Structure 1
Amino acid sequence: MGSLFGKKKNKSQEITSQDRAILELKVQRDNLTRSRKKIELVIDKETEIAKQCLRAKKRKQALLALRRKKWQEQTLEKVEKMLTNVEEMTQSIEFKQMEKKVFDSLKSGKDVLQQLNKMMSVEEVEQLMEENEEAMAYQNEIQELLAGQLTQEDEEDVLKELDEIIEMAQDEKEIKMPKVPTKDPKKKQISEEEEEEEEATTSSEEEIEKEKEKKKTKVKHKKVAEMI
């Protein structure tokens, strides 16, 4: 039952041999660091013993303490060399692990790039670019035709004609509208009679003038006949 409900371990969380090696190196590094501190304490202690022996005029004991100190110093040098080697090895492995991760990432990226390149061939890209260029050229040609179809002067003439049509339409509308009478009907009748009298007077005057012209013409004809 526990295996059914247990969580599966992620591959990224699995401990590899490289991880174990790094862990072991770090453990040894910590052990060497502790050993170095102990040796340093022993060296300090032997130095103090040698001083005390000299103050007590115990030369042999002082020399013995200094020999033990010298041996501890040599041991300390060996420990420090081992510690340096362990740290360098740890750093080298960690750096190689980082290089491996970068390499794997580059390899995965390369594989993805190859797959994407297979999805779009060079021929398809070239065809697409040509079609885009043709479409853009066609669009530019249409825009040039539309822009060059009418000049600025033509546009002004068109606007002027439009204004004239609007004015004509307004005039026709005003003509069709019935006029509201503003004068008295009696005054209108009197004015109409006066106009008729003026027209009659004018026509009679015209008839008189015509008669005079006829008489003049007859006189001229008579004189011409007498001369003959």
Structure 2
Amino acid sequence: MNSDLPKVLHELAGRPLILRVLDTAAKLGAGQTIVVVGHMRALVEQTVRDIATGTVVQDPPLGTGHAVLQAEEAISPNCQEILILSGDVPLLRSETLTELIRCHREGGADLTVLSTTAPNPFGYGRIVRDLDGEFTGIVEEKDATTEQRNISEINSGVYLAKREPLFQALHKVTPHNAKGEYYLTDIVGILGKAGRVTQAVNCAEFGELQGINTPAELAEAEAVWLARQSA
């Protein structure tokens, strides 16, 4: 973003990205909202303190799986379903997440991955299905075969999971690279091998799920946001 400001604090239509995401969670009636903070965490904590239930610190940053694991002790024992969202994806609609929740519950799933169809899937993790269309896993771009790279259904990075199997799986994730990063996507295979029910639900428009990494992408997202408000 060419800025010293944490990415999630850049504003979309006058409101920080992270608050746009928390606004969406609030529309769903979330019982708790825990924000995982790292870089310049004091600024982020100050921004979210009036809307988030709490914050937890990830330091050092060891990947997406490690980030979610930091929240384990902060989540109330009464919370049995956990929705995992990204702080830099502000265009995701509450209606889409409501559909994700419905499919998760009706499918009796332990883990449901929100997927979408990308016009150009390069760089994204691909959703892999068997000949019957059943979800079998997520393969990252660098690990994908030529055939898998032709798959247009991609992982959004949004997950809904039952608490117990989620954290059981996270504790079994092992680091991938020299940085010692733990990938959240690994829980799909871990849960599958344990006989748990996993599924991928393609119920989102690609534009809802685009993350924001550059000023140009922020400007584009703001234009989409403003167009929605005037529709």
Report the TM-score, using the length of structure 1 for normalisation.
0.17
Pick the structure with greater CA Rg: 1
| Greater relative contact order structure (CA < 8 Å, 6+ sep) | 2
Report the TM-score, using the length of structure 2 for normalisation.
0.17
